[in-house]
Structure 1
Amino acid sequence: MNFLAHPLLPGNMLKSMLPGTPDQSAALPGGEALASVLDPFGFGRAAVSYWRDSVERSVLYLDVMRERGNQYLEHMEQTKPNVLGFDTEVLVDGRTLPHPTNYELLRVLPPSHIEIDPDKRPFVVVDPRAGHGPGIGGFKPDSELGVALRAGHPCYFIGFLPFPEPGQTVEDVVEAEIAFLRHVIALHPKTAEKPMVVGNCQAGWQIMMAAALEPDVFGPILIAGAPLSYWAGEHGKAPMRYTGGMTGGSWITALTSDIGNGLFDGAWLVQNFERLNPANTYWKKQYHLYDNIDTESERYLEFERWWGGHVVLGGNEIQYIVDNLFVGNRLSTAQLVTRDGRRIDLRNVRSPVVVFCSRGDDITPPPQALGWIRDLYEGEEDIIANEQTIVYCQHDTTGHLGIFVSGSVSRKEHTEFTANMDYIDVMPPGLYETTVSHASERDDAELLERDYLLEFTARNFEELDRDVMHKPEDDRRFATVARISEINLGFYRLYVQPWIQATMTPEAARWIRRMHPIRLGYKLLSDRNPLTVPLPVMADMVRRHRQEVGQDNMFKAIETMRSDQIVASLNALRDLRDSTTERMFMDIYGQPLLQAAVGLHGDAHVHRRRPGAEPEHRRFIENRQNELRNKIAQGGSHEAVMRSVIYVLGGATATDERNFKRLRASRSELEPTSTLSEFKRLVRDQFFILKLDRDRALSCLPELLKGQSDQEIDGHIEHLEHVLAASGELSEHVAERFAQIKALFDQARPPKAAQPAESTPVTASSAEAAASNVASKPKSRTASRRKPPRKR
């Protein structure tokens, strides 16, 4: 980098080069003319301008590094460091729970210009504890918390302290999060809906574990960039999944914890993340600051306050995580059992789950974020049988941190998720993919209430497999890694661990943490280094006399090209390293002899066998089906209308939030005293009834409407038209279904007083035939935009 080529210059010499100093050549008579004669093409003047600018940028860059070091030391000396951009108050300290943890529940205090509705659904953000400190979920005004606050939701944050409690385990943390959610529910007794919970990265699988153990305390769950299926991945991408195999398993984790005297330094995890993209770590990020030193310093320091806020994990915590999740992949196959004998089965989660991932994420790529669905369920019918609603959304380009840090992502995806959580909460069971489109991209922009629209499309496992890219032969390789990891860990604990634990002291462990290369990088460029004493004085002088060189300077252009070449070279080395690592992994762990040595060769399912269904769960499904069969002919107009909406929209390729908003408005009109949970139960019951026996469910519609007057039936049809028109003009298939429904509603009309003969009853099949005739007639575009239903 250019600043390395320039030594620190004395103040008087630096001052003489600053643009504020009079230019002697320009002051002399004819100086400019003489300069033109001596330097006709301007190369010399461009070189001097560039040299001066590069020296100034070097001084300012080093001063920002000094401020970064001071900021790091100040941050690490705090008792409860975090980078939240909002004021908070502690509600529950995890250290006071029966099983103490270093987690705590915070209430987020809204800014003065934002008004909160305490009766709205509470919003809880859980931050990842993967080497960095807490606060990334509320880092900026345009963040997950910022979006929820602007929507009027009461917001809470689950963070953590830098050091774990003695003996703290992953199960203790999960139980603490459950206790925090119970406390949030108790704070909002008038709110019928359970809290919406957002789990970022590592916190995502923690939240899913908690929801599997205590599903009743969770509302909709959003897991952003959370890896739940660690063996999944696409060849040529996701190099982190090979790390366990290339180190021989989790014994290296135990060694690192023993060197820390039972504590695992999170800086090692941060170092793993940084090695994924050496071009960005060692050059691009730093050069971007150097190149834009006049505008980027504040943003850079703000991010570094979080990135450099390293925390410590308990040795038994990280060992549990690596053995059971990263190497063993036991969470997504329901193989984890708590200390009190409860099996952690993600199929027990009753809340809708929204999976947000990105194709540009090299830490949690889509296969690792979505593979757990394929690990647990046989197909989309299995998801429906478990009454589960799973929605996934894939961003095209953003990186891992951008999923929960980027302001553009928060303003788009997170805003739509927050605004439509009630809709997601009542969606029928199944697998859906959601997309967010901008109003400018749509022909029906006049029908949209906001700048973006959230659309949902039902998916099957064949479509899901295009993103998961499951390969059984890779499963056998990773299962081999898991077996070898157990063997190596056993040898380490038998022969090496006793010696290290006997010689390591708390003082030595603290010294090793302080000497970590990443930590030293912050400390060496701080005010504690006497060599940095001149920097603030020189930087202040530069700022007072600063003159930037233009982009048209040929030497600045050469610098930019050279930077691009360095980035390309580092990326090429990274790609070579990753491809070599992948090839070595595949070759070593794909050997039949090695697989046979650990007892896996020839096993068709190896370690990834689906958990299967328990007998009591099968009996529950059978009893539930019998219960629904008895409900097919029970109910009234509410059940008939909801059954009709679900049937008609079931013929659409996609649905969106507008239909739900019309339904929600009509719910308050038809059933003013009903709650969202009751509405959700109505939707799900009618969905399952249609799924169980569609023909009988439709033929019973006239029976459900029995006793209704012509005016009431007309009102129901107008209501259906109003709901369906929310998404614009009906497709041909949807129009046919709607015509079938209207024919069935007409059958329920009371007989005319002067009717000469008894009319022929309309069955579901005859209604479908009539619907075909109706649908074959030309449709009017205005027919889908009728006025709202009358107040009844």
Structure 2
Amino acid sequence: MAKDPADAFADALSYATDASQRLVLFLDALRQRGLQYEEHLAQLAPHVLDYDTELVCDGRSLPRPVNYVVVRIAPPPGMVVDKVKRPFVIVDPRAGHGPGIGGFKADSEIGVAMRAGHPCYFVGFLPDAVPGQTIEDVALAEAVFLEAVIARHPEADGKPCVVGNCQAGWAVMILAALRPELFGPIILAGSPLSYWAGVKGQNPMRYAGGLLGGSWLTALTSDLGAGTFDGAWLVQNFESQNPANTLWSKQYNLYSKIDTEVERYLGFEKWWGGHVTLNAEEIQFIVDELFIGNRLACGEIRTSDGTAIDLRNIRSPIVVFCSKGDNITPPQQALDWILDLYGSVDEIRSYGQTIVYAIHDKIGHLGIFVSAGVARKEHDEFASNIDFIDVLPPGLYEAIFEPKTGTEANPDLVSGEWVMRCEARTLDDIRALGGNELEDERRFATVARVSEINLSLYRALVQPWIQMNANPAVAGAMRAMHPLRLQYEIFGSRNPFFSWLDVAAPKMRQERQQVADDNVFLKAQEAASAQIVGALDNWRQIVERISEQTFRTVYGSPLLQSAVGIDTHSQRRPRDAPKSKLHAELLAKRIEELRASMASGDMLNACVRALLYVGMARESADERSFEAIRRLRRQGQHLRRLTLSEFKALTREQFFMLLIDQAEALRTLPGLLPPDHEGRTAAFKLIEQVATARGSLSGEAADRLEEIRRLFEVASPMGSNPPGKLHVATRQRA
């Protein structure tokens, strides 16, 4: 039914009033952004942390100075941290933006860690690198930072948990491989470690290096910057992945929600516009060794003294948090390093490694760090259960989060609003996410070779001329003229054409008249916006298809592959982590030591072995079981007390005994028990209490608990299978 002309005119007038007011307030928000940008850059150490800090160590004072610092986060009033709990160290990425995104609001990685009672530290950086600093220098500085944190917490029940956000993840892993003794659990949030990985038809960012001909363009950009690489280029690469959001949605969302969105928008833009620089040596290492070379997971990166960086040296549990909605670090790039390093879960265990991964269904890359919902769920659960993760037996697990309803078994053992469970997984579960075929690996290996050739040609033929004519003044002018910086500068204080907003904006807020939601012109505006987004998304998809097709055609050419030395007939992947005979020999020796010590130990050894035996039938672990153990440790009437690290070592020892020879581990278990019946009965009750903390047992787990009952010489409540008829299972679980 057509509207009355008078109503239509009223709708038009109302919409015109609303739209004009929105426009003024929108321009004012952009002006506030510009002024905020100027103020932020004027600071000596700009950051977006929402907490007071205390400087612990300044990297500029080290023998090999760097522009990094570590600060202690001061808990807000009313928040108390526990000196016995391990500290958390949050490391933000230096990927074009300034530091602080890991703690820029209460619902953040820092916020949830402190709410869980952990002291918190933050590793950030200054806007400009120290001349000559390298990625290795940064790693050495971060080792000093961790030593300082450890020294401040002598009573802590475990080494620091280190969180590496995005690009900081690979930096943390490099240091953990070189100095494993400094680390407690490691959390990698949206961190790419396997840069070639992805799925055909998706993840187009991995093709960029090949389409640009390799890293010569990185070297050219650094040379034009007089030895400095402008991080704004990295931010622009990120923005180019989603032109609909960059060119339209972000601005339209502010305009359409101008009455409620300004504060959130300005808070995010403060970080998004805080561009920093890198040295030429740093960015060249990142692009050559990681983005294009993909050398980290295969152990091909070496330090200045020749030490190979082997991620299998890491002894701390590794938690990988990624998302299917992340087009910057898709799950394949976050997880496929595991496939590069290990041939099976047994091999993971042979290195004593524990890897836990969690995959979000839809959150985008930035949401992994900035989403309040993610902070309250995944990051909160990791922080609350970090000791539980630390004592998990070696292997590969997926973290599953289920909402706490209050109807589950023992809800008082659950610390937060979610119940965290770690399910055992195999490498096939990671492969099922999708990944490269052998032909794809050859294509990326060809890109790496072409990049080396082009970089060598650039350095021989062009670089001397560029470096001869480049100077800091011109480089500074080029950085100031970068399009991403100009979009802030144009609305800043030096533009007199927007000074009228100082008077107009307050007046518009005072006279604000919002249009009704059912206004036909407002609906037309929303429809037009949706069409613009759809058109830009279609354009992106076309560009991505053409880019992928071009990449696959050019670098899939057998002639090009042969020309750069890629064997087109080999069935081996171009990059495989080397195997060590020494590791196999040490492993065989360790197995013999464990076999010889199966009959040694006390009741605590027996209890842990029994719990693991029952738990292995479930192939999962629940936070409630660990919380039950934690509470029993406080009682300690029948069992000697251990520190967390001692308990972890004991758990791993007993777990490996069960893996090596389950039958012998169970046969020797009664010899570890004391002679008094009362002590055995009490110990079994503790075992039963922990084993059933997540609910009553059934199936094989229940059968195993019954076996343990008889081993502890406790009569079966059903009166069947007397102790003399004990059946010892010989099933071996890989």
**1:625 counterpart = 2:594:** no
1:148 corresponds to which letter in structure 2? Answer: A
CA-atom RMSD, angstroms?
Answer: 1.8
Q: Is the 8 A contact 2:67 2:126 kept in 1?
A: yes
Contact 2:413 2:627 in 1 (8 A): no
Matched residue SS, 2:78: coil
Output the CA distance in 1 between the equivalents of 2:639 and 2:129. Answer: 50
1:551-581 CA deviation, whole Å, 9 max, x = no partner? 1110001101110111111111111111111
5 Å matches for 1:105-124?
A: 105-124=70-89
Residue 18 of structure 2 corresponds to 53
Aligned length: 720
Q: What secondary structure, in the 3-state scheme, does the structure 2 residue paired with 1:181 have?
A: helix
Within the candidate set 674, 678, 695, 2:646 is matched to 678
Distance, in Å, in 2 between the alignment partners of 1:406 and 1:430 is 30
For 1:760 and 1:545, locate their aligned partners in 2 and report how far apart those are by CA, in whole Å.
86
| 1:277-356 to 2 correspondences below 5 Å | 277-356=242-321
Determine if the alignment matches structure 1 residue 157 to structure 2 residue 122. yes
- Cα deviation, 1:174-216, whole Å, max 9, x if unaligned, reads 1111110001001111224100100000000000000000000
- What is the CA distance between 1:653 and its match in structure 2? 3.9
Offset at 1:583? Answer: 1.0
Give yes or no for the alignment of 1:485 onto 2:485. Answer: no
Contact in 2 for aligned 1:439/1:445 (Cα 8 Å): no
Select the residue among 576, 585, 590 that pairs with 1:609.
576
1:460 counterpart = 2:426: yes
- Residue of structure 2 aligned with 1:648, choices 593, 614, 626: 614
Residue aligning to 1:702: 670
Letter in 2 for 1:356: F
Q: Is the 8 A contact 2:127 2:277 kept in 1?
A: yes
Equivalent position amino acid for 2:454 in 1 = N
Where does residue 678 of structure 2 map in the other structure?
A: 711
Counterpart in 2 of 1:172?
137
Aligned to 1:3: none
**8 Å contact kept, 1:708–1:748:** no
1:571-586 matched pairs, under 5 angstroms = 571-586=537-552
CA contact (8 A) 1:53 1:548 kept: yes
Structure 2 SS opposite 1:52: helix
Q: Write the distance in 2 (CA, Å) between the matches of 1:434 and 1:462.
A: 16
Q: Distance in 1 between matches of 2:607 and 2:82?
A: 31
CA displacement 1:295-339 (0-9 Å, x = unmatched): 111110010000000000001100000000000000010111100
Which residue, out of 350, 370, 374, partners 2:339?
374
Which structure's CA Rg is the greater one? 1
| Residues 1:567 and 2:500 aligned together | no
Q: CA deviation at 1:664?
A: 2.2
Instruction: Give the match for residue 531 of structure 1.
Output: 497
Question: Which amino acid is 1:508 matched to?
Answer: V
Report the AA paired with residue 571 of structure 1.
D
Q: What is the deviation of 1:715?
A: 1.2
Q: How does 1:135-534 map to 2 (within 5 A)?
A: 135-440=100-405, 444=409, 446=411, 449=414, 450-534=416-500
User: Is this contact kept in 2: 1:702–1:744, CA < 8 A?
Assistant: yes
| Alignment partners' CA distance in 2, 1:674 and 1:52 | 71
CA distance in 2, matches of 1:139, 1:53: 33
Equivalences for residues 2-17 of structure 1 within 5 A: none
Question: Partner of 2:53: helix, strand, or coil?
Answer: strand
Q: CA contact under 8 A between 2:710 and 2:723: conserved in structure 1?
A: no
Q: CA deviation at 1:440?
A: 3.6
Q: Does 1:597 align with 2:569?
A: no
One-letter amino acid of the structure 1 residue matched with residue 19 of structure 2: S
Match of 2:661 in 1: 693
**Is contact 1:58–1:290 with CA below 8 Å preserved after alignment?**
yes
| 8 Å contact from structure 1 (residues 698, 764) kept in 2 | no
Shift of 1:618: 2.0
Counterpart for residue 754 of structure 1: none
Separation in 2, partners of 1:446, 1:487:
61
Gaps of 5+ in 2: 717-721
- Report the residue type matching 2:653 in the other structure: D
Q: Contact 1:737–1:768 (CA<8 Å) still a contact in 2?
A: no
Residue 453 of structure 1 deviates from its aligned partner by 0.4
The alignment's TM-score, normalised by the length of structure 2, stands at: 0.96
Q: 1:133 aligns with which of 61, 84, 98?
A: 98
Q: Any unmatched runs of 5+ in structure 1?
A: 1-37, 750-758, 770-792
- 1:100-135 deviations in Å (ceiling 9; x for gaps): 000001011111111122222111000000000000
Structure 1 residue 252: Cα displacement:
0.5
Give % identity: 51
Helix, strand or coil at the partner of 1:354: strand
Deviation at 1:77, TM superposition (A): 1.4
Match of 2:690 in 1: 723
Partner residue of 2:709? 742
Letter matched to residue 741 of structure 1: I
> Partner of 1:43 in structure 2?
8
Describe the shift of the 1:768–1:622 C-alpha distance in structure 2 as closer, same or farther (beyond 3 A): closer
Structure 1 residue 519, shift from structure 2 partner: 0.4
- Asked which structure has the greater RCO (Cα within 8 Å, sep 6+), the reply is 2
Separation of aligned partners in 2, 1:594 and 1:604: 18
Is the partner of 1:190 in helix, strand or coil? coil
- C-alpha distance in 2, partners of 1:267/1:335? 29
Q: Using a 3 Å threshold, how does the CA distance of structure 1 residues 220 and 509 change in structure 2: closer, same or farther?
A: same
Look up the SS of the partner of 1:607 in the other structure. Answer: coil
- Larger mean Cα displacement after TM superposition, 447-456 or 576-585: 447-456
